[in-house]
């Protein structure tokens, strides 16, 4: 997956005042962990300027990364649908509208799908199929299990910020085309050959980064992303 370019800016002439970094494919190695060299660099850099992690992962999966920083800072989770402060308290949420969740649940309750459906809120991660092989693999990457919640998900309980479908590589293209045709009001991302993610149409890492830059009183030209 191509790296998202957040700020189209010329090469910085002065040291940045704030740094944003993706995690998977950027900071983590092939074993989904930080090397000792990267860990040390993050610790030292966090004392000089805010280091903002920006990830599609849920907040619980970012705790160990956040603990590496000697000086804590806000972070971006769920690809911009959630911004947390340095104490992991929500600063901003972009939930999927309830009527779209209801439509999704109705559709997938009536479709035979050999897959796992995941729902993400500001504080929880749920799956309807913990024994699906793709779900087991995802939980191994993240480092902890999702809570089990059979469909239909009680949408009145917590605002849902992200839906993720895990399915076989042969089924994903069909599901993706169906979603693109029937859910033009959602942001649909095929993030891996076995993953599809759904967000509110306005969810954006770029928007989340601008909110944090403004929170610190900086300009985007002073940020490195």
Question: What is the secondary structure of 18-39 as a DSSP string?
Answer: EEEE--TTTTS-TTSS--HHHH
The verdict on residue 6 lying in a domain is no
Q: Which residues span the domain enclosing 49? A: 18-93+204-224
Peptide bond into 137 cis (omega under 30): no
Instruction: Say what percent of the chain tops pLDDT 90.
Output: 47
Neighbours of 93 (CB within 10 A): 16
Asked if pLDDT for residue 165 goes beyond 60, the answer is: yes
57 in the same domain as 118: no
State which H helix or E strand residue 167 sits in. strand 162-167
The verdict on residue 216 lying in a domain is yes
| Backbone torsions φ then ψ of 224, nearest 5 degrees | -115, 120
DSSP SS3 for 53? strand
Instruction: Say what percent of the chain tops pLDDT 70.
Output: 92
30 in the same domain as 79: yes
Number of compact structural domains in the chain = 2
**pLDDT, position 198:** 97
126 in the same domain as 67: no
| Angle in degrees, CA 85, 202, 221, rounded to 5 | 60
175 in the same domain as 143: yes
83 in the same domain as 111: no
State which H helix or E strand residue 79 sits in. none
104 in the same domain as 75: no
Q: What is the pLDDT of residues 13-63, one digit of tens each?
A: 678 889 898 877 677 767 677 778 888 888 888 888 898 988 888 888 888
Q: What is the pLDDT of residues 72-92, one digit of tens each?
A: 889 999 999 999 998 889 999
189 in the same domain as 104: yes
The verdict on residue 2 lying in a domain is no
Asked if pLDDT for residue 10 goes beyond 60, the answer is: no
Does residue 62 or residue 167 have the better pLDDT? 167
The verdict on residue 117 lying in a domain is yes
Q: What is the pLDDT of residues 114-151, one digit of tens each?
A: 899 999 999 899 999 999 999 999 999 888 899 999 88
The verdict on residue 3 lying in a domain is no
- Please provide the average confidence, as pLDDT, over all residues in the chain: 86
121 in the same domain as 29: no
71 in the same domain as 159: no
184 in the same domain as 141: yes
83 in the same domain as 71: yes
The verdict on residue 41 lying in a domain is yes
Kindly report the length of the chain: 225
108 in the same domain as 49: no
Instruction: Specify the CATH number for the domain of residue 151.
Output: 3.30.1240.10
pLDDT confidence tier of residue 3, bands split at 50, 70 and 90: very low
Asked if pLDDT for residue 196 goes beyond 90, the answer is: yes
State which H helix or E strand residue 198 sits in. strand 195-200
Model confidence, pTM: 0.85
């Amino acid at each position: 997956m191509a790296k998202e370019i957040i700020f189209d800016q010329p090469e910085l002439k002065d040291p940045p005042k704030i740094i944003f970094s993706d995690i998977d494919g950027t900071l983590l190695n092939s074993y989904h962990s930080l090397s000792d060299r990267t860990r040390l660099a993050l610790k030292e850099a966090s004392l000089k300027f805010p280091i903002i992690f920006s990830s599609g992962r849920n907040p619980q999966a970012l705790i160990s990364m956040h603990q590496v920083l000697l000086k804590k800072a806000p972070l971006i989770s769920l690809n911009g649908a959630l911004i947390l402060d340095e104490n992991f308290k929500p600063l901003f949420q972009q939930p999927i509208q309830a009527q779209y969740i209801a439509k999704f649940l109705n559709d997938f309750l009536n479709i035979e799908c050999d897959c796992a459906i995941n729902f993400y809120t500001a504080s929880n991660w749920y799956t309807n199929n913990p024994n699906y092989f793709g779900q087991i693999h995802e939980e191994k990457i993240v480092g902890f299990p999702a809570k089990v919640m059979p469909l239909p998900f009680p949408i009145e309980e917590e605002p849902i910020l992200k839906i993720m479908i895990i399915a076989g590589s042969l089924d994903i293209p069909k599901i993706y085309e169906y979603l693109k045709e029937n859910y033009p009001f959602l942001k649909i991302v095929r993030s891996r050959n076995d993953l599809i993610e759904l967000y509110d149409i306005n969810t954006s890492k770029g928007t989340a980064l601008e909110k944090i830059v403004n929170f610190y009183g900086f300009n985007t030209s002073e940020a490195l992303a």
